[in-house]
Chain A
Amino acid sequence: MIDVNVSLGRWPFQRFLFDAARPLARHLKSCGIRKALVASTESVLYPDPDVYDEACFEQIREVPGLLPVKTVNPVLATWRTSLCDFADRYELKAIRLYPSYHRYGLDDPIVNELVKTAIKLKLPVMVAVRVEDERQQYSLMQVPGVPLAAIAKFAAAHPRARVVALNGYFHEIVAVKERRNLYFDIAFAELTDTLRALTEYMPARQLLFGSQTPFLTTKAAAMKVELANISQGNCERIAEGNAVSLFRLDR
């Protein structure tokens, strides 16, 4: 499987069992995951994402199967030079945005500029709907989720961009009507017989396997695929195929 939703690093509100690249890769492999798109955990909260992104990418550079995803905060004055510089130095597979943590709207003009740059660099834009379930957040740090409708509007406004909504709940994902260039990972999506239910609402080509490791238990996401009551073709698309074409990965 290819996991599009993995992070590496530490988080103040949770104790991770895998916070170094090699043990993380070994753990993913034990759950049937051979490639993973990895972003730095600290880059969500630390004011300059470049600092922890660099540390993260240097670590995973040595580990086959772990592929870098750059966290971009478009509110920062340096986002453009930083992104181009990182794209030169590392084989970035995507960028990740955290609009609710970095406090901007997806319709902000600055985001237009960012999307143009991402298109030029051929990088899909991942938008984290949330990092943690709102009901389990630290009581003094309540961060609202990004409405899926705003992400759908954003994707529609940039038809040449490829947009991935990470960590959306089932009911949020299936409520999105316009989604031509919009993809969803399955880390937070759950309903009885999850993948069968999801594929009743949308084509499998828009769904991506994501586990949100190390926040969530990797095996929990893996078993959604292992026990899925869907065709083998759709299962393969969600587990690997869609990610291979969307992120231009080697087979």
Chain B
Amino acid sequence: MIIDIHTHHFLGRETLKSPEPVEPLMRLAKQAGVTRMNLLGNLFRTGKIRPPARDLKAINTLTMRQVRAYPDFFTGFCYLNPVLDGRFLIDEIDRCVADGNLTGLKFEIDLNCRDPRLDPLLDRARELDIPVLHHSWHNIDLCTQPYKSDPPDIADLAARHPQVTIIMPHLAGVGVRGVLDVLPHPNVLIDTSGGLSVAGLIEYAVDRLGPGRLLYGSDVNGRDFSCQIGRVLGAQVSAKVKEQILWRNAARVLKLGITE
């Protein structure tokens, strides 16, 4: 069993109305042994960060449609741009999660997560008891950026919302420093997606965080299931730990009720 916590079904701008079929990507996933994919939305469909409300809704509507079409294969998260109107964002969470079929929130690089505009959205996640996946990467200039969130920013968000499960993606992007940044926050998990399959990082993260805080993710499209799964299968950790990373931890976070 493999659950891919971090996937996108990217489409061109003009194809959103008649979207490219998701089935070829599903086929590739299944060929690689993936049993479930968590869709985070077709981000950047407008080619820009900070999409307006209309585009955001279209992205989430498509994710909901894909989950509805293959409920045994897809789960999905509701993508939010936190600079939009706060009332609209709460309504969008309710449309997609409370009244829809999405089971988590996704934030990208629209606003640094130290910004208080995220707080009511995380509060709503706590009320709905859903996880949040927030983009992160260790940027070389090491200072807080207005849009992008580095691991210390994620740690700040995690400290403000200790009861919300936060998935920090891109293990290779956040690196050793990123692992240390979130170490004191047990509500933060890291996904293995992003960047190259840098050797030794999964081993390091398991050693520091324990095996319960890592999730397999590929960040397809653009990434390849084969090597993204290979970086987990090739890690020098026990078969039991690989199983936790490949699906057990995700099944817990997504509340799939799968134990075997």
How many whole Å from B60's CB to the nearest CB in chain A?
Answer: 23
**CB within 8 A of B227: which of A15, A17, A136, A220?**
A220
Confirm or deny: A221 has a beta carbon within 8 angstroms of a beta carbon on chain B. Answer: yes
In the complex, how many angstroms separate the beta carbon of A228 from the nearest chain B beta carbon? 8
Contact A217 B197 (CB under 8 A): yes
Taking CB atoms, residues of chain B closer than 8 Å to A217 are 197-199, 230-231, 234-235
A133-B196, A217-B197 known; A192-B231 Cβ under 8 A:
no
Q: Is the pair B199, A192 in contact by a Cβ cutoff of 8 Å?
A: no
Q: Mark A62-102, 1 if CB is under 8 A from B, else 0.
A: 00000000000000000000000000000000000000000
Q: How large is the interface on B (under 10, 10 to 19, 20 to 34, 35 or more residues)?
A: 20 to 34
Chain A residues lying within 8 Å of B212, measured Cβ to Cβ, are: none
On whether the beta carbons of B229 and A136 are closer than 8 Å, the reply is no
Partner of A215, one of B198, B204, B229, B234: B198
- Whether the Cβ atoms of B200 and A220 lie closer than 8 Å is no
A-facing residues in B99-147 (Cβ within 8 Å): 137, 140, 142
Instruction: Establish whether residues B199 and A223, one from each chain, have CB atoms under 8 Å apart when the complex forms.
Output: no
Let me know if B231 and A219 touch, CB within 8 A: yes
- Residue A226 lies at the interface, judged by CB distance under 8 Å to chain B: yes
For A14, list chain B residues within 8 Å (CB): 198-200
Q: Per a CB cutoff under 8 Å, which of A137, A214, A227, A228 touches B199?
A: A214
Chain B, Cβ-Cβ closest to A213: B199
Q: A139 touches which one: B140, B196, B234 (CB < 8 A)?
A: B140
Binds A, one of B15-23, B77-85, B183-191, B217-225: B217-225
Decide if B206 is an interface residue (CB 8 Å cutoff). Answer: no
A26 to chain B, nearest CB (A): 12
Looking at B24-32, B36-44, B154-162, the stretch in contact with chain A turns out to be B24-32
Interface class of chain A by DSSP: loop
CA distance A194 to B200 in the complex (A): 23
> At the interface, yes or no: A193 with Cβ under 8 Å from chain B?
yes
Q: B91 at the A/B interface (Cβ < 8 Å)?
A: no
Q: Which residues of A contact B200 (CB under 8 A)?
A: 14-17
Chain B, 188-211, CB within 8 A of any chain A CB: 195-200, 203-204
Give the Cβ gap from B210 to chain A, nearest Cβ, in Å. 19
Q: Is the CB of A223 within 8 A of B226?
A: yes
Determine if B173 is an interface residue (Cβ-Cβ < 8 Å). Answer: yes
With A15-B200, A136-B172: A192-B222 Cβ-Cβ less than 8 Å: yes
Residues of chain A from 175 to 234 with CB closer than 8 A to chain B in the complex: 188, 190-194, 213-224, 226-229
Find the residue from A15, A190, A192 having the highest chain B CB count within 10 A: A192
B196–A188 CB distance below 8 A: yes
Whether a CB of chain A sits under 8 angstroms from the CB of B236 is yes
Give Cα A17–Cα B204 distance, bound, in whole angstroms: 11
- A216:B222 contact, CB within 8 angstroms: no
- Pick from A137, A142, A216, A227: contact of B197, CB below 8 A: A216
Indicate whether A120 reaches chain B with its CB closer than 8 angstroms: no
A156 touches B (CB below 8 Å): no
Q: How far is the CB of A25 from chain B (nearest CB, A)?
A: 16
Distance to closest chain A CB from B122 (angstroms): 28
Instruction: Please state if A193 and B199 are interface contacts (CB–CB under 8 Å).
Output: no
The answer to the question of A135 belonging to the interface, with a C-beta cut-off of 8 Å to chain B, is yes
- CA of A16 to CA of B204, assembled, Å: 11
- Knowing A15-B200, A17-B199, A136-B172, the reply to whether A218 touches B224 (Cβ < 8 A) is no
Q: Which of A100-154 contact B (CB under 8 A)?
A: 133, 135-137, 139, 142
Residues of A within 8 A of B225 (CB): 192, 227
B233 CB within 8 Å of chain A: yes
Q: Which residues of A contact B (CB under 8 A)?
A: 14-17, 31, 133, 135-137, 139, 142, 188, 190-194, 213-224, 226-229
| 17 A-B contact pairs sorted by A residue (CB < 8 Å) | A15-B204, A16-B199, A133-B196, A133-B198, A136-B195, A190-B227, A191-B222, A192-B222, A193-B28, A214-B199, A215-B198, A216-B197, A217-B231, A222-B234, A224-B224, A224-B227, A226-B226
Q: Which 10 A-B pairs have the closest CB atoms?
A: A219-B234, A223-B230, A220-B197, A220-B230, A220-B227, A227-B226, A223-B226, A217-B234, A217-B197, A219-B230
- Known A-B contacts: A218-B199, A223-B233, A224-B226. Give 10 more (CB < 8 A): A133-B195, A136-B175, A137-B140, A191-B222, A191-B224, A215-B198, A219-B230, A220-B231, A223-B32, A223-B230
